[in-house]
Amino acid sequence: MIDNQIDWNEVWKEQMTKHNEMSGGMDCATYWDDKEEARNYWKMVQDGEIFVSSLLKDMKIDPHFRVLDVGAGPGTLVLPISKKAAHVTAVEPSSSMICVLRENIDNSGIENIGCVQKRWEEIDLENDLDTPYDLVIASFSLGMTDIKAAIQKMMDATSKYVYLAWFAGEPSWDAHYRELSTQLYDNAVYCPMPKSDVIFNLLYQMEIYPNVRVFPFQMLHRFLSFEDAVDYFSGQFRVTEEGHKAKLREILPHILENEGDSWILCHHSLNMMIWWDKKEHGSKSQ
């Protein structure tokens, strides 16, 4: 039994708040407002076809389905799903991400995708969206502080399925960032985002008993030069002092892989796809 003395939504809030504070108050949506990072992410997606197929594996999408993608990014799932479903609505808060998404839609000549630029927390289901959808998915876009309210809104937006993809174990970048934080700033404490165990426990408390599939993924972040990598991590850690940049130059060769003139940061993690049918759980989740 899940310990009902623990408020798992509060556990999520606390961990996500600490992570955002450690990042200088920058949450996931704000992070992707950098257009260069949005384009870099799209390049990684294009190079990681196995990643996309892993997300879509066993997903129930009928040709008549209307699908809602929460935190759609540059179109990672929107574009392939649009070929299987009648319509896809993409909700994306980042202006840079949605700009890349719209470029990708135009370049693909796809006409069954709609875009809404808003944070999920700010979405008004009646005025911003044409609910209900047949399927709602949030793939690695669960940076909301109040995750229970976010999930409940997804439940309210669908008549059938909810799919959530999130990290199950410690991703490689948590280990890298913990090492960098320690070496750049003495006694620094790295606060990672909450993981899938918190989501599962919260769903259990909401009397939602989901299906779970565990899957790995790997993506490559390629830097055209070593100095590009130094600039990237300087931004990540708000490094301005030359002494800290010198430390970065010492540490990064142990984290990055050199390939000719370019340097590669290998992202890998173990993840969970968590999904359920609202018809089986919708009346119990209030």
Residue 261 falls inside a structural domain = no
Tell me what pLDDT residue 191 has: 87
Q: Which domain holds residue 19?
A: 8-169+191-218+270-284
Assign 58 to helix, strand or coil.
coil
Examine the pLDDT at 98 and tell me if it is beyond 90.
yes
Tell me what pLDDT residue 284 has: 45
- Of the listed ranges 120-124, 134-138, 177-181, 220-224, the least confidently predicted one is 177-181
Residue 65 falls inside a structural domain = yes
Work out the average pLDDT over 81-109: 95
Average pLDDT over the chain reads 88
Peptide bond into 192 cis (omega under 30): no
Tell me what pLDDT residue 285 has: 43
Residue whose structure tokens are 């540059």: 74
Contact 58, 2 (CB under 8 A): no
Determine phi and psi for 263, rounding to 5 degrees. -125, 140
Residue 241 falls inside a structural domain = no
CATH code for the domain of 202: 3.40.50.150
CB atoms within 10 A of CB 153: 17
Tell me what pLDDT residue 282 has: 52
SS3 content of the chain, % helix, strand, coil (to 5): 45, 20, 30
Up-side HSE of residue 120: CA atoms within 13 Å toward CB? 32
Buried/exposed code over 69-92 (b: 16+ C-beta within 10 A; e: otherwise): bbbbbbbbbbbbbbeebebbbbbb
Q: Among 70, 112, 76, 113, which residue's Cα sits nearest to residue 92? A: 70
Q: Give the tens place of pLDDT for each residue, 197-216.
A: 999 999 999 999 999 999 99
Residue 151 falls inside a structural domain = yes
Give the global pTM.
0.90
Find the DSSP H helices in the chain. Answer: 8-22, 28-31, 35-47, 49-56, 78-82, 95-108, 125-128, 147-157, 172-184, 196-205, 226-236, 242-251, 278-281
Residue 276 falls inside a structural domain = yes
Examine the pLDDT at 104 and tell me if it is beyond 90.
yes
Count of the separate structural domains present in the chain: 1
For residue 23, give Cα distances in angstroms to 83, 161, 193, 207, 253: 37, 33, 11, 33, 23
Residue 34 tokens read as 């950098």
Q: Name the percent of the chain lying above pLDDT 70.
A: 92
Residue 105 falls inside a structural domain = yes
CA distance 113 to 82: 7
Tell me what pLDDT residue 7 has: 95
CA distance 105 to 120: 21
CA distance 269 to 169: 7
Question: With left for phi above 0 and alpha for psi between -120 and 50, is residue 76 left, alpha or beta?
Answer: alpha
Residue 96 falls inside a structural domain = yes
Q: Is 166 exposed, middle or buried (0-12, 13-18, 19+ CB in 10 A)?
A: buried
Residue 240 falls inside a structural domain = no
Q: Give the tens place of pLDDT for each residue, 37-68.
A: 778 788 877 776 678 888 999 898 999 999 99
